[in-house]
Amino acid sequence: MRIYAPDGPTTATIAAGAHAAGDLKGLTIGILDNTKPNAGLLLNRMAERLAERTGAIVGPVETKNAALAAPDQVMGRLTRQVQLVLTGSAD
């Protein structure tokens, strides 16, 4: 029998995250709702609060099935209409 320890060597390399968006005043926030329970409510409230704090504008809400990739038409509309998209909610 072999027993493997769950620990192992780690690296000191730190992955770079996305750069902060900076000033959002006047930018449009879009929402990509994946239809999971309360996802729309959560994303709308987050967008409203972000808009209040930054001067951004809450824009279109697109809906997609959580089990599938967003259709090209949905992604195209968001690409044309907004500069920031809020999405992602899990069970």
Domain span holding position 62: 32-87
The predicted pLDDT at position 2 comes to 79
Over residues 21-77, the pLDDT tens digits come to 678 999 999 999 988 888 899 999 999 999 999 999 999 998 888 888 888 998 999
Number of domains making up the chain? 1
Tell me, yes or no, whether 11 lies in a domain.
Answer: no
From the list 63, 56, 53, the residue with the least C-alpha distance to 26 is 56
pLDDT at 91 over 70: no
3-class state of residue 86 by DSSP: strand
Tell me, yes or no, whether 74 lies in a domain.
Answer: yes
The whole-model pTM stands at: 0.70
